[in-house]
Structure 1
Amino acid sequence: MNILDKIAPPLIFCAVAGLFCASLTAQQPVTVRKVSVTQDPPLPLPPPEEITPPTPQRGLSLTDLEHIALGSNPSIGRASALVSAAQGNMVQVGLPPNPTVGYNGQQLGSGGLAEQHGVQFSQEIVRGGKLRLNRAVAEQELARAQQELAAQQQRVLTDVRIAFYKTLIAQRQIDMTSNLVRTTTQGADVVDALIKAKEATRLDVLQSQLEVENAQILLKNARNSHDAAWRELSSVIGDPYLQEQALRGDAFAPPCEIAFDQALARVHAASPEIAIAMSEISRTRMAAERARVEAVPNVSLQGLVNPIDNGIGGRPDGGVTVSIPIPILNRNQGGIMRAQSEIVAAERALTQLELSLKNRLAPTFERYSNARNQVERYRTAILPAATESLDLSRKMYQAGETGYLNLLTAQRTFAQTHLQYLDSLRQLRITEAEIEGLLLSGSLDVRGR
């Protein structure tokens, strides 16, 4: 028996076991490499063989991260402040005008013969229910702000879920590619031993080195994906300097059963965007009522008391003035027309939004359906076939029916198949989160107001 027959079979068996176990340990907490998230340029990654896994610790669950994000994401604090502003506006617009008090002096400079010194006051009386309607309009603005807060909270939750599963799956990709690097490196060592024993060629050496380099590329890509996913996660929870740590979750759970019509009906029934549009319709209707009563004239009262009157008689006197504008020329015709047009615009905006939601759901549901089909095919057919193929390649090699490099190629195909499965699984979790999140995401995007 040559050196190859002595060394290769146990090596390949360990490689297969390591790779296959990595794909079946989804229920265990994932331990993430600890690095500091800073604004400095990242240092170059050390060689894979020098990376020491961190000590396992109790991991953060999805619920933990959602709780942190709801309390720390600045977009929620901003939306909450806008709700408070709307509450203040609702109080303010319903308050009546303040009375006016002042001094009134007449016939000044008459040498004390006809001077009058008095106290003057005035008050505007608002008629037509204008203050009540002002408050009704502001109440709908408050309802809109509250729904915008709910929408922002949902965006945060969706973003957290997406980043959470990206990080979990990226760590699994690191595990898979690390095993691939280790086994291809060991395979290259085997080829070196064969070269020394003059049982391999220069072509075998080059091929084994290519396998190692390809595995290193896959590992580096997996680490880059993990770093990006963690940075995204730490940003959406509102703590960009959060140290990387273990996450507890099951990215390999069975897919959710989602039908397009049911998902669309749920979005239409529960989406805060729909509630915002309906609040806008209510606001425009209240604003139209307010515009109609604008022509109802307010009454202005003025009173004057002269306790000192140096004129004829010298006794205190006073005066009263009542005035009211006559709505002949200006009956707020333009304001009423504008308010009625805004009602039509708001109603059309609701219809537009309903169609927009369907339009947004369509490509998301397509990606969900494709990813779900791929995940199910990988689980039921492709992964078992890849495992069997690698096992047969090992047996054929042991029987002398194939070369060692062919076995390495089969091993790489096995690993790449698992990586493609993880890519499909990541896409599935992202689209599930988007659909369950009512198509609301992008919590850190800057919006109006």
Structure 2
Amino acid sequence: MPEPRSSKAGARGWTPARYRALLRAEGPSSMRFRTRLAILLGAVAIGLAATLFATAADAAGQLFDLYVARHPWLPLLSTPLLFALLVWLTRRFVPLARGSGIPQVIAAQQDPERATGSLVSVRTVVGKALLTLGAVLAGASVGREGPTVQIAAAVMGLSHRLFRVPLRGAVLIAGGAAGVAAAFNTPLAGLLFAIEELASAYEQRVTLLVIAAIVIAGMVAQTVQGDYVYFGLIGAHMTITSALMAVPCAGIVGGVAGGLFARLMLTMATASNPVTGWARRSPVAFAALCGLVVALLGVGTGMTWGTGYGAARAMIAGVDAPLWFGPAKFLAALATAVAGLPGGIFAPSLAVGAGVGNLLQPIFSGMPASSIVILGMVGYFAGVVRAPLTAVIILSETTASRGLMLPMFATAFIADGFSQFVCREKLYHGLSRTFAMRP
């Protein structure tokens, strides 16, 4: 009985030549296979690097707390000196490691291949990690999330170089977003941060790349660190009537305050006036002065050192805090951010936002304190970074307060609108111009 025509055609189709062509296109030596492997292993490495960096930063913070407990007045001397030393080391050895790290990743998308030797090089991110830990040991108001983004982008770039595959801007977006996801244990926030902040023109074809990197890095970090909620299981909620009163207030106050922080940072980074001129001519002396401001606030209040995580966590949980915490933490975070040393502003901004919410509590005394504090955090964070979706998802994932989602979204969009009245340019994109690579 003759074989069916279709079977004969299929048999003829699978020839040795076709197998060889398939191996060239999809096999271990193919560009497609090596690209996928570079992304997979890069994402795993990001999860491990983020976990290691987080552990080291937490240990450095605990060491500083012990130091302050034993020698409460010594930071008045040590903090300004360490600020000056860290800025000198940064400018001397790794000038591209200064600041948050997110503007560097945005700037690196102009020429990803060249950026692996500068903005996201191994030298730069190793220096970034070490100097950020030094800033934590100095009591600076810095976070580890921004540096983790730069470190993650460098890891992804390195994995592509090792497997000899082309590096695209989308890969840096994926790496940076995976860094956010691993740092906060917030995979959805990582995805939205990639869309809102890292990618100025987000392309649909990079969606799966970003999601894959975020999921893998997040799973690795969660496997090592355990499944945790950054601020704890708060589960805040609010009635519609209460939200209609609290949301506009939190959005306006948070947006204006966040916009002011962004405006002052961009002014110090890009404007020309006597203050910025002196800061650029004498960066080490200016850093020492900023360190003195941070030290005076820290010694005077005992609450503004470091990220402010503890104070923010307490306020979210409903613990009463002094009304001056928000303004004091604002000044400490600003003095640290403009000093020129490496370190992020994510965590300090959340702490300032908690202080904003704490300021609003007396006005809405009949409402749940945790809800007002969280709305203040959303409003201020959205005002600073102008990424309202990211602000909402970060707070919903780090507090497990999904019942507060609609009020948080409303607060974030109001804050974003009012922040633009104070500072028209988005903070990270404005700062990225100071890292623009010249042809």
The TM tier, using the shorter chain, reads under 0.3
With normalisation by structure 1, the TM-score equals: 0.20
With normalisation by structure 2, the TM-score equals: 0.20
Q: Answer 1 or 2: which has greater helix percent.
A: 2
Find the structure with the greater CA-based Rg: 1
Higher RCO, 1 or 2 (CA under 8 Å, sep at least 6)?
1
